[in-house]
Amino acid sequence: MRRFSWFNATSLTLGFAFLYIPMIILIIFSFNASELVTVWAGFSTRWYGELLGNEAFLDAAWVTLQVAVMSSTIATVLGTMAATVMVRGGRFMGRTLFSGMIYAPLVMPEVITGLSLLLLFIGIGLDRGVLTIVLAHTTFSMCYVSVVVSSRLVSFDRSLEEAALDLGCSPFEAFRLVTLPIIAPAVISGWLLAFTLSLDDLVIASFTAGPSATTLPIKIFSSIRLGVSPEINALSTIMIAIVTVGVLTASIVSKRASVAQQRDEQAAARAT
Amino acid sequence: MAQTEFAPWNDPEAKPLIQFKNVTKRFGAFTAIDDLTQDIYAQEFFALLGPSGCGKTTMMRMLAGFENPTEGQILLSGQNMAEVPPNKRAVNMMFQSYALFPHLSVWDNIAFGLRRARMPKPEIDARVDEMLRLTRLEKFAKRKPHQISGGQRQRVALARSLAKAPKLLLLDEPLGALDAKLRQDTQFELMDIQEKTGTTFVIVTHDQEEAMTVASRVAVMDEGRIVQVATPAEIYEAPNTVYVADFIGDVNIIEGAATPSGDGYDIAWAEGQAPFHAKTQTKLSNGQRCYLAIRPEKIGIATEKPEGADNTVQGKIIDIAYLGNLSTYHVELPGGKMIKAQTANTRRLSRRALTWEDDVWLSWTNTGSVVLDR
Ligand SMILES: Nc1ncnc2c1ncn2[C@@H]1O[C@H](COP(=O)(O)OP(=O)(O)O)[C@@H](O)[C@H]1O
Ligand SMILES: [Mg+2]
């Protein structure tokens, strides 16, 4: 047992305070009865109620949800396929280049991704709306899914797939019946990651959203330019809650999976 | 054992089930299988034996369809298998690593192949239960692979590969994780299954005793080649090279020069010592270097020089290994050559006549040794 140290305790407190006090203040003030954001006038859920009556916010929320579900689902399918090819495809010409290119969007400034997508959509004459945001979000979240899934596939025992083929599966059946169920936790946490990323993206969405469809982050950002309202606080609190749940679920799922994997591997090691 | 001798390899009319025709397999610059030609017949229990890395698993993987020969052909029932994917072959393989599906229960692992074959549900149930009974896993049907022991996992892998009753079953070191008793039981079970179902088995093992127990023929491999293929008895009694003699069981190798004499050769093995005589079919030129291979149990050991023995030599006991039913004596011959002689311990230990440092006489017959030219 390490001894309690004032220095450690202080730095921990300061660090966490720095990270979380702004959010805590926001959450507290979302329950403020007053119209004035900075003056506390008692507890109330009034702003949550008002939020429900605000058509513009509800529309934006609906668009955001649609975009997040669609883009994370497409990104998961594409990202899993890309990861499978990269890990399994064997050595083919330009493999290193391809895998590098899949991961490039991870480090690409969002402004550039957003701008280039905007130019593309204008170039091919695609009207900006839900579809374009979905495409844009799929593009950048796919590489996150691919990273998560391929790190799982690297440690996947190939002989399991061979055993499935040996027992009469076609290659696709082997993937569906053996590989996919085993890597499912990684695929799910990839989906949750993509979902969360899409939910709170502002930059890329502002480039690719049109007048017909606005996402919640864009809506919030544009309305605070007219001054912060307690309604925004309430909305932000809800978003914090959703993102927290998403991230927690993703990390619990992947933690569980890695524990299970370790256990299976230890068991396998004992067998030999 | 068998009423009529099972030896299709001696029958020129018999059609082999598997034919390796000049098969070479390279991984990059490394040659894992080197120009291998071999027939395996239906209902055989064919054992591949050899040190680690000699290409046993590679041969199996080519039969199962996971690797293709770099050169040459593999025929199954006369059909070239090159273009046939693993899921279209009437072959099942038990993997050295078991490769059990971790997300499925023992029951579902065994049923996996049957479901793929679209077998009706009641038949699947009956078949899986039969396999569970056979491998004594009934109690573990609902468990996941990580909830059972290594030996049990090995039996699940075996049951899974047996379930589809394939024409050809490939077993890659199937019994390695079992303890001695269970291993022996399973060996007999395998032979029993083989007799009942008529399945052809190719089994990889590096345990020579296992190969001797179960196999109809044993192939001894070395660096991607088959050195000798023969029945267990033949391979033990008449190995064709020092490598095979040394690999299968314990053996004494005495190097010498051959001189034709009578129906065999006199082999001069040391200055000032009488040569050993051996009867043999092997043809050697006068003075050719050769090797005399003698199994320890074929050498008699006595304190007095035995009368009328074909070959005798005197030596001194350096070491005695007591193995319970047997004792192995390490005897030093004049000139320093060590020879192992083995006797059955029919008497109690305390009444044994021979002990360390005793001068003893070793003896064996003219047919007790094998003359090898390499
Ligand atoms: N996929 C592969 N790539 C490169 N070398 C391989 C591959 N598979 C097997 N080898 C090599 O081929 C040789 C024979 O391997 P294997 O057939 O597994 O031997 P064993 O007789 O122990 O089963 C070994 O030296 C091994 O390193
Ligand atoms: Mg092997």
Whether the predicted pLDDT of A223 surpasses 80:
yes
Q: How far apart are CA B79 and CA A40, in angstroms?
A: 86
Query: Mean pLDDT, to the nearest integer, of A18-39?
Result: 84
Q: Residue B119: exposed, middle, or buried by beta-carbon count in 10 A (0-12, 13-18, 19+)?
A: middle
Lowest-pLDDT range of A98-112, A195-209, B216-230, B249-263: A98-112
Does the beta-carbon distance from A159 to B95 stay under 8 Å? yes
Q: Say whether residue A90 is in contact with chain B using an 8 A CB cutoff.
A: no
User: Which residues between 114 and 173 in chain A have a beta carbon less than 8 angstroms from any beta carbon of chain B?
Assistant: 157, 159-160, 162-170, 173
In a domain? residue A83 = yes
3 state SS of B176? coil
Query: Mean pLDDT, to the nearest integer, of B161-185?
Result: 86
- Residue A266 has a pLDDT of 67
In a domain? residue A19 = no
- Residue B207 has a pLDDT of 83
Residue A177 or B11, more confident: A177
Q: Which tens digit of pLDDT belongs to each residue from B115-141? A: 999 999 999 999 999 999 888 899 999
CATH of the domain at A204: 1.10.3720.10
Q: How confident is the model at residue A29 (pLDDT cuts 50, 70, 90)?
A: confident
Can you tell me which atom of ligand 1 is nearest the CA of B67? 1
Q: Which tens digit of pLDDT belongs to each residue from A191-210? A: 988 998 898 899 999 999 88
In a domain? residue A242 = no
| Contact by Cβ (8 Å): B343, B349 | no
CATH class of B250-372: mainly beta
Whether the predicted pLDDT of A272 surpasses 50:
no
Q: How confident is the model at residue A226 (pLDDT cuts 50, 70, 90)?
A: confident
- Residue B91 has a pLDDT of 92
Indicate if ligand 1 lies below 6 Å from the C-beta of B327: no
- Residue B1 has a pLDDT of 46
Q: How confident is the model at residue B317 (pLDDT cuts 50, 70, 90)?
A: very high
Instruction: Give B-chain residues touching A164 at CB under 8 angstroms.
Output: 101, 112
- B8-245: CATH architecture: 3-Layer(aba) Sandwich (3.40)
Q: In Å, how far is A154's CA from the nearest CA of chain B?
A: 16
Query: Mean pLDDT, to the nearest integer, of B184-193?
Result: 84
- Residue B345 has a pLDDT of 83
Q: How far apart are CA B230 and CA B236, in angstroms?
A: 9
- Residue A265 has a pLDDT of 63
| Contact by Cβ (8 Å): A171, A85 | no
Number of domains making up chain A: 1
Indicate if ligand 1 lies below 6 Å from the C-beta of B49: no
- Residue B82 has a pLDDT of 87
CATH 3.40.50.300 in chain B is located at 8-245
Helix then strand then coil, in percent of chain A rounded to 5, is 80, 0, 20
- Residue B73 has a pLDDT of 94
Q: Which domain holds residue A130?
A: 55-231
Query: Ramachandran region of residue B272, left (φ > 0), alpha (ψ -120 to 50) or beta?
Result: left
Q: How confident is the model at residue B297 (pLDDT cuts 50, 70, 90)?
A: very high
Q: Say whether residue A263 is in contact with chain B using an 8 A CB cutoff.
A: yes
Q: Which tens digit of pLDDT belongs to each residue from B61-78? A: 999 999 999 999 999 999
Quote the Cα angle for A40-A43-A48, to 5°: 105
Q: Long-range contacts: B76-80, Cβ < 8 Å, 24+?
A: B76/B17, B76/B18, B76/B168, B77/B15, B77/B17, B77/B167, B78/B15, B78/B19
> How large is the angle between the packed helices B121-134 and B106-116, nearest 10 degrees?
130
- Residue A42 has a pLDDT of 85
